[in-house]
Chain A
Amino acid sequence: MSSNPTSKRSPRAKILFKRFASNPLAIVGAFFFFFFFLMALIGSYAAPYPFAAQVIADRLQSPSWTHLCGTDQFGRDVFSRIIVGARSVFFLGGSGTILAAFFGLMLGLASGYYGGLFDELAMRACDVVMSFPSLLLALVFISLSGPSLLNLVMIVAILYIPIMARVVRGMTLELKNMAYVEAARIRGESAPYIIFVEIMPNTLPPVFVEMSMRFSYSIFLVASLGFLGLGVQPPSPDWGMQINEARGFLSNAPWVLLCPATAIAVLVVSTSLLSDGIRNMLQPSMGKR
Chain B
Amino acid sequence: MLKYLARRLGFVLITLLVSSMIIFFSTQVLPGDVAQMILGRFARPEAVEALRVKLGLNEPIYVQYLTWLKNFVQGDWGLSLSTNNYPVAPMVWERLKNSFILAMAAFVIYVPGGILLGLWAALRRNKAADHIISVSSLSLIGLPEFVTGVILIAIFSLKLGWLPPSSSISPTATLPEILPKLVLPAITAALVSLAYITRMTRASTVEALYSDYVRTAYLKGLSPRQVLFRHVLRNALMPTVTVAAISIGWLMGGLVVTEALFSYPGLGRLLLFAIQRRDLPLIQATTLLMAAIFCLSNMLADIIYAWLNPKIRFQ
B54-100 contacts to A (CB < 8 Å): none
Interface size on A, residues (CB 8 A): 43
Cβ of A30 < 8 Å from any Cβ of B?
A: no
- Which residues of the other chain, B, contact A276 by a CB distance below 8 angstroms? 138
Q: Mark A62-85, 1 if CB is under 8 A from B, else 0.
A: 000000000000000000000000
A2-53 contacts to B (CB < 8 Å): 25
A239-261 contacts to B (CB < 8 Å): 240, 243-244, 247, 250-251, 254, 257-258, 261
Partner of A272, one of B23, B30, B142, B150: B142
Cβ of A121 < 8 Å from any Cβ of B?
A: no
State A217–B141 Cα separation when bound (angstroms): 9
State A247–B158 Cα separation when bound (angstroms): 13
CB atoms of A134 and B275 under 8 A apart: no
Give the residue name and chain of the A residue nearest to B135 (CB). Answer: A25
State A258–B250 Cα separation when bound (angstroms): 26
State A265–B23 Cα separation when bound (angstroms): 34
Are A131 and B143 also in contact (CB < 8 A) when A136-B287, A143-B278, A251-B158 are? Answer: no
Cβ of A101 < 8 Å from any Cβ of B?
A: no
The stretch of B109-117, B224-232, B288-296 in contact with A is B288-296
Partner of A135, one of B143, B154, B256: B256
Q: Mark B116-152, 1 if CB is under 8 A from A, else 0.
A: 0000000001000000000100110111111100110
Give the residue name and chain of the A residue nearest to B209 (CB). Answer: A289
CB atoms of A140 and B15 under 8 A apart: no
Interface size class of B (residues with CB under 8 A): 35 or more
- Which residues of the other chain, B, contact A269 by a CB distance below 8 angstroms? 138-139, 142-143
Q: Would you give the shortest CB distance from B41 to chain A, in whole angstroms?
A: 20
Main secondary structure on A side of the interface with B: helix
- Which residues of the other chain, A, contact B272 by a CB distance below 8 angstroms? 139, 228
Partner of A140, one of B252, B254, B287: B287
Cβ of A230 < 8 Å from any Cβ of B?
A: yes
CB atoms of B142 and A228 under 8 A apart: no
Most buried by B among A144, A216, A276: A144
Are A243 and B150 also in contact (CB < 8 A) when A230-B275, A289-B210 are? Answer: yes
State A228–B257 Cα separation when bound (angstroms): 7
Cβ of B223 < 8 Å from any Cβ of A?
A: no
Cβ of A208 < 8 Å from any Cβ of B?
A: no
CB atoms of B142 and A131 under 8 A apart: no
CB atoms of B146 and A240 under 8 A apart: yes
A215-231 contacts to B (CB < 8 Å): 216-217, 219-220, 223-224, 227-230
CB atoms of B138 and A144 under 8 A apart: no
CB atoms of B294 and A132 under 8 A apart: yes
Cβ of A201 < 8 Å from any Cβ of B?
A: no
CB atoms of B275 and A139 under 8 A apart: yes
- Residues of B in contact with A (beta carbons under 8 Å apart): 15, 18-19, 23, 26-27, 29-30, 125, 135, 138-139, 141-147, 150-151, 153-154, 158, 165, 206, 210, 249-250, 252-254, 256-257, 260-261, 271-272, 275-276, 278, 283, 287, 290-291, 294-295, 298
